Amino acid sequence: MRSAPSSGFEPLNSATCGDVWRQKLFDRALKSVTPDLGVMPVADSAYVTELTGVKFRPAEEAVKAAGQSLIDHSVV
Question: What is d(CA 71, CA 69) in angstroms, rounded to the nearest whole number?
Answer: 5
Residue 7: its pLDDT value, please?
A: 53
Q: Which helix (H) or strand (E) holds 50?
A: helix 46-52
Residue 32: its pLDDT value, please?
A: 75
Mean pLDDT by 10 residues, the chain (76 residues): 52 56 64 78 87 92 97 95
Residue 41: its pLDDT value, please?
A: 80
Candidates 70, 57, 51; CA nearest to 1 is 51
Specify the amino acid at residue 76: V
Whole-model pTM: value is: 0.40
Question: What is d(CA 7, CA 1) in angstroms, rounded to the nearest whole number?
Answer: 18
